[in-house]
Amino acid sequence: MTIAAAGVIAASAPHSGSSEIIVTTSAAKSDFSADNFKAARAVTPQAGEPAGYCKQPNPMTTAVNRTMDCYSMPITVSVKKNGRTVGTAKFTVWHEIHLNLKSVKWSEKITVGKASKTGNASGIITTFHPSCGSGCQVHAGGNLASPFTLGSARTGSANHTFTVSRGHPRSTHTRYEFDFKKPGYTSGEAAYVGSTYRCDDEDRQYGAGCVYPTRISVEKDWTKLSDMANLPGIGDNIRKVQGAGLHIGYPGSSVPLTRATKAQADQNRREVCGPTVQPTPSDIWWTVDPSDDGTKPSCDEYPFAETTQGGNTYNPPNRSIKWVPLKENRQQGGIIRTFFGRYHLLPGDKFYVQAGA
């Protein structure tokens, strides 16, 4: 799974002047440990991290995988006089984010760790300025809402509100800026960005919410079989393809499924299960009841038409059709729509299906 790590976008650079504050940062790293469908690995605590920092469920869940991130940023503030360092303050900023599947509002926990100071590093006033992109508003809260003297650990928040409308999902990231001032010295700053998140209001049943779109999801969940596995014909068809060739869509395979656009899904259906495709008597493995619409033959395809791997993208054994009772196909459609809506999977998002072996 690809997790976009936070990155440094600005830090104060040396310049002419007899008294100045210079800020340097190390590369930020994501401390979120999920890896595709696997259970979260044990996370080794880091020195100085807040209690409970980045605590993740084991086994991992799709909900957490789509919404959680945490990362740390080491910062060094150097106090210089006539080009010579006369004091330093070193600390780490700890971020823990839980986006909201059911709302466009969330509060990110941020802890500015205790500063280790040497020399003339006292009295450094720090101000936190978060910002985010179009359609997003964020303001500092808690003990980070107003300027503070760098020293003891402080915990606050970055409180986000997004604005989206149906048909217009938005992606952005949060920019974190810290300004440092000391009487008699030119001020310095450090700024960096977090992982990209996306908010949308595309599903009428589940409403607006926000996720990390690059995270690979699993239907139904990482350690649970999909409800499709219990549909006799459809479950068999999925397992047949996942057990051969490229193992398309099987958890952990190199070819996850990717949600397609509606136009692509319609094209996939025409290619594989179009009106000219009809079952033969040997394809009917159940009792068809003329009085029960749900028992009518229905063409099931895997990879699903709703994915970019569907249609004629692959040849057998990496694709297959199976005739199933219409009620199975209807159930499958409901399962997929619920999964897409609940976890905000939009066209281009990747996922696996846990159908058993």
Which of the four pLDDT bands, split at 50, 70 and 90, describes residue 10? low
**pLDDT of 202 above 70:** yes
H/E element, 330: helix 326-342
Cα Rg of the chain, angstroms:
26
Q: In this structure, what token pair is assigned to residue 306?
A: 């709703």
**Per-residue pLDDT reduced to its tens digit, 99-150:** 999 999 999 999 999 999 999 999 999 999 999 988 999 999 999 999 999 9
Q: Which whole-number Å values give the CA distances from 123 to 71, 183, 320, in the listed order?
A: 27, 8, 69
Place of tokens 């063409």: 299
Alpha-carbon span 116 to 90, nearest angstrom: 5
Residue 140 neighbours by CB under 8 Å, 6+ apart: 128, 129, 130, 156, 157, 158, 159
Burial 159-185, CB ≥16 within 10 A → b, else e: bbebebeeeebbbbbbbbebbbbbeeb
- pLDDT of the residue at 156: 98
Percent of the chain with pLDDT over 90: 85
* Torsion (CA) 204, 206, 208, 211 in degrees, nearest 10: -130
Whether residue 317 is preceded by a cis peptide bond, meaning omega within 30 degrees of 0, is yes
Is-contact 282 322, C-beta < 8 A? no
Neighbours of 134 (CB within 10 A): 9
**pLDDT for residue 35 is more than 90:** no
Q: Which tens digits make up the pLDDT trace of 213-262?
A: 999 999 988 889 999 999 999 999 999 999 999 999 999 999 999 999 99
Mean pLDDT to the nearest integer, 319-331: 97
Task: Pick 34 or 123 by higher pLDDT.
Answer: 123
Q: How confident is the model at residue 286 (pLDDT cuts 50, 70, 90)?
A: very high
Beta partners for residue 112, in sequence order? 93, 154
**Is the pTM for the entire model greater than 0.85?**
yes
CA-nearest of 357, 268, 246, 252 to 321 is: 268
Distance CA 254, CA 333 (A): 25
How far apart are the C-alpha atoms of 48 and 114, rounded to whole Å? 8
Q: CA-CA distances (angstroms) from residue 269 to 148, 250, 273, 319? A: 61, 21, 5, 13
> What is the tens place of the pLDDT at every residue in 157-183?
999 999 999 999 999 999 999 999 999
Give 59-80 pLDDT, tens digit per residue: 889 999 999 999 999 999 999 9
Which tokens go with 238?
Answer: 């999925």
DSSP state of 81: E
